[in-house]
Structure 1
Amino acid sequence: MTRSEQLPESPAPAAELPTSVERLLQNITAEYDSLPRQLKRVATYITQQSDRVMVDRISDIARDCEVQPSAIVRFSQRFGFSGFSEMQAIFREAYTHKTTPVQNYQQRIRRLIADKAQKVPPETLARECIDATRSGLDRLSHELNDETFRQAVQLLVKADNIYVVGVRRSFAAAHYLVYSLQHTNKRIHLVSGLGGSYREQMRSVKPDDLVVAISFSPYGKESEHCVRIAHHKQAKTLVITDSPLSPLAKRANAVLLVNEGSAFAFRSLSATLCLCQALFIALAYELELKMDEIHENLDFED
């Protein structure tokens, strides 16, 4: 094992050939910690950009991962494939009947960039952003795990206090979730880190509380720090992120995955906001049901 880690060019032990994209992603998650550094980059790309694998060339993936194409081949062989083409085939088979806006968008963007002589009108830029946003929502609808979502809602229902953290791009989603949750009778706290006070704002977290962390690649160190504090204090954690390989996901009690559409290197937040809204509505519904049950069990005539 140690020798193969030092010499990644050597063939890896034969692995069982995954029969589906879902199975491959499970295998990648299970073996991620043992992968060499370059293969970890490929693993992160594959899990976060699964919709693109079927259309990207090996050189495209290598460039985005900042590795040589041979590393992509070694990665494929590590998980039981003869090479990249065989691994790519299972992605193509999985999405044969699902031509998503993401794929069409990628092709259109490449044509726009290649045609430097053509000036892109503002309305075209607007529609590209709209299409990218729609693609993220479509993917969220397709990939949302029902069981995990139910688990996330129950974590919210049972929590005494709910702390929400998100930094930089994720702060808007964290603030929106706090605003929504404040319409319930739960005690809600925004961990803003004002003045660098993340540790101080997390000091009162208790085992019966829930910390919700929203973070996407390249992942906020502040959010990761808050999740570590929650874990140390034995509080529950709900993580909203873009990959099961996210450093925040390892300590989470539930992980909700969101992969936003991207236009001109600017990622949307619409799917994340939609998921936050869905969590609030599901929580409010559960809380009202509990209130109805309480009222039904009380005899106000006595």
Structure 2
Amino acid sequence: MPHTDQPATTERTPESDLQSPPINAERLLQLITHEYESLPRQLKRIASYMSQQSDRIMVDRISDIARECEVHPSAIVRFSQRFGFSGFSEMQALFREAYTHKTTPVQNYQQRIRSMIASKSPAIGGDLARECISATLSGIERLGRELDDQAFDKAVELVVNADNIYVIGVRRSFAVADYLVYNLQHTQKRIHLVSGLGGSYREQMRSVRGNDLVIAISFTPYAKETQHCLRIARQQQAHTLIITDSNLSPLAKRANAVLLVNEGSSFAFRSLSATLCLCQALFIAVASRLELNVDEIHEQAGFED
């Protein structure tokens, strides 16, 4: 029987079957959010980082991202190819193009940090303080650029219309939760800080009802206690307002409103300033809707000597 040569076939990987790469960084981030659940575990880590730290992608090295995501650099390449790029550099160019015409404090901050490390010279206290201040400013400026007006208005509406408000924040988010509770207590609403004292999260959430609002504040890696409280809130059909760092956050699923904030970080310490600013703005907007006179808000009398 004569031998007939068959056309050679090339086995295609899932990455090579994808459409052309997105035309801009905004579209890429939308695709990442849309396809997040279908990604393998390692690529989900990278997707979360991309969503939370989009300002940094243009200056990050592939080794930086791999270290932050606890994956091998080859996983970054696979992630890039998954979304239609030839490699990381092509994907990174999309973010560089997006921010070419913007003032990016993060870029200058990252460059200064690397210069400081490369110089191997001991940094004086003032220099360290200024690096922390620069990181804080970058987070606040990013919040100003990226604040979603519709989401913010929805958050205000939820607070104004709630019967009871429960606020939960664990570990570093606890300070923000306590500050927000302090502000909201100047309204006539019943405000509850879910502190979990003695491990009593379930007990403190027991009285949540359908027309109540649960405000949850959590950032990666997203506290299990906060997720537990949100499950109770959903079971009770309460409304939920989430303050977090990514639409890919497990807290953001099925939330009534999500406010995103990404803090600057210095030497592995993340600031809280942008989150506190967001909470202060939320309260002022609520006070305006409730026609409170913010100028007259003061401590209750009765504690004088």
Partners of 2:16 and 2:84 within 8 A in 1: no
Partners of 1:228 and 1:251 within 8 A in 2: no
Which residue is equivalent to 1:295? Answer: none
Which residue is equivalent to 2:296? Answer: none
SS of the residue 1:260 aligns to: coil
Distance in 2, matches of 1:261 and 1:88, equals 20
Distance in 1, matches of 2:117 and 2:21, equals 37
Distance in 2, matches of 1:225 and 1:194, equals 15
Mean Cα deviation higher: 158-167 or 16-25: 16-25
Partners of 1:227 and 1:251 within 8 A in 2: no
Which residue identity is paired with 2:142?
A: R
Which residue is equivalent to 2:139? Answer: 136
Q: 1:99 aligns with which of 97, 103, 106?
A: 103
Superposition RMSD on alpha carbons, in Å? 1.5
Structure 1 unaligned spans of 5+ = 1-7, 290-302
Partners of 2:15 and 2:84 within 8 A in 1: no
Report the structure, 1 or 2, having the larger helix content: 1
Which residue identity is paired with 1:17?
A: P
Which residue is equivalent to 1:33? Answer: 37
Which residue identity is paired with 2:252?
A: A
- CA apart distance, 1:32: 0.7
Q: 1:252 aligns with which of 252, 255, 276?
A: 255
Query: Post-superposition, which runs of at least 4 consecutive aligned residues in structure 1 deviate over 4 A?
Result: none
Which residue is equivalent to 1:67? Answer: 71
- CA apart distance, 1:63: 2.5
Q: 2:174 aligns with which of 166, 171, 175?
A: 171
Distance in 2, matches of 1:59 and 1:193, equals 38
Distance in 1, matches of 2:93 and 2:128, equals 32
Q: What's the TM-score, normalizing by structure 2? A: 0.89
Q: 2:61 aligns with which of 54, 57, 64?
A: 57
Q: 2:150 aligns with which of 142, 147, 150?
A: 147
Q: 1:77 aligns with which of 72, 81, 91?
A: 81
1:119 equivalenced with 2:122 (yes/no): yes
- CA apart distance, 1:251: 2.8
Max Rg structure: 2
**Alignment deviations for residues 62-83 of structure 1 (CA, whole Å, 9 cap, x no partner):** 2222222222122112112222
**Alignment deviations for residues 11-38 of structure 1 (CA, whole Å, 9 cap, x no partner):** 3521243222222111111111110111
Which residue identity is paired with 1:112?
A: M
**Alignment deviations for residues 106-129 of structure 1 (CA, whole Å, 9 cap, x no partner):** 11111212222x221111111111
Q: Aligned pair in 2 of structure 1 residues 16, 232: CA closer, same or farther (>3 Å)? A: farther
Which residue is equivalent to 1:236? Answer: 239
SS of the residue 2:258 aligns to: strand
- CA apart distance, 1:282: 0.4
**Alignment deviations for residues 26-62 of structure 1 (CA, whole Å, 9 cap, x no partner):** 1111111110111111111111111111111222222
SS of the residue 2:243 aligns to: strand
Distance in 1, matches of 2:60 and 2:156, equals 36
Partners of 2:14 and 2:82 within 8 A in 1: no
Which residue is equivalent to 1:281? Answer: 284
1:193 equivalenced with 2:196 (yes/no): yes
Q: Percent identity?
A: 74
Mean Cα deviation higher: 49-58 or 145-154: 49-58
1:14 equivalenced with 2:21 (yes/no): no
Distance in 2, matches of 1:25 and 1:76, equals 12
Which residue is equivalent to 2:271? Answer: 268
Which residue is equivalent to 1:206? Answer: 209
